[in-house]
Amino acid sequence: MKLAYVGRRSIYDVVRKIAYGVSLFGDGDVVIVDGRYRAGGDVVLPCDDYRCVAKELFASVPKILGGGKLGVDLGTAKNGVVYVWRGELVLHAVLDWATVEAVLKSAESVQIHMGSSPYVDMKRALSTLGCREVRLVDELDAGSSRPWLKRRYPELEEDELDALTFTFREGVGVRTCV
């Protein structure tokens, strides 16, 4: 699966911080286009800042590909979010709570795997999802695969790496309707 980008180089630099292995002006299964180009594409970006681009990509790419897993590592200051499709890392980002909330609200066709620990306000996160099922993953248990994933994806930040480990664990299914 390949992602491609068409548009200004400055926005490409933002996109490649979020999209794993995206090519510039290449062919891809999903084509991301700078909104100023007025060209057709699978995902048209109406903005150029990190938070907005992340929100657009996490909302659009899973709908286009259909299915996949969204890994979420909630923290006290920053949150790691990844999108994995058919076992392959597609998107990764470190986001603030407001952007994570927007991503979770738009996550319709994906399985959500969220890290569970005593330090995370799970009620706040689960209330964002309404009655959707979430797979809660024990963060200590998932941590055993971190060294292997760190070697495979050395460019990922710690929060992104944690979120990625959650997608490889089954976890416990929880549905909280609040």
Q: How far apart are CA 108 and CA 12, in angstroms?
A: 26
Whether CATH 3.30.830.10 fits 50-175? no
Predicted pLDDT of residue 108: 83
Relative to beta strand 69-73, strand 79-85 is antiparallel
β-bridge partners, 44: 33
Q: How far apart are CA 31 and CA 37, in angstroms?
A: 13
Question: pLDDT tens string for the chain (178 positions)?
Answer: 889 998 889 999 999 999 998 988 877 889 999 888 767 788 999 988 999 999 999 999 999 998 899 999 988 778 999 999 999 999 999 999 899 989 998 888 899 998 877 667 667 777 777 778 888 888 777 777 788 889 999 999 999 999 999 998 887 777 767 5
Q: How far apart are CA 47 and CA 32, in angstroms?
A: 12
φ/ψ region of 33 (left if φ > 0, alpha if ψ in -120 to 50, else beta) reads beta
Tokens in use for 34?
């700078």
**What pTM value is reported for the model?**
0.91
Q: How far apart are CA 172 and CA 31, in angstroms?
A: 35
Predicted pLDDT of residue 36: 84
Domain ranges in the chain are: 50-175
Predicted pLDDT of residue 38: 67
Cβ atoms of residues 41 and 130 within 8 Å: no
Q: Which residues contact 109 (CB under 8 A, 6 or more apart)?
A: 62, 63, 66, 67, 68
Predicted pLDDT of residue 107: 84
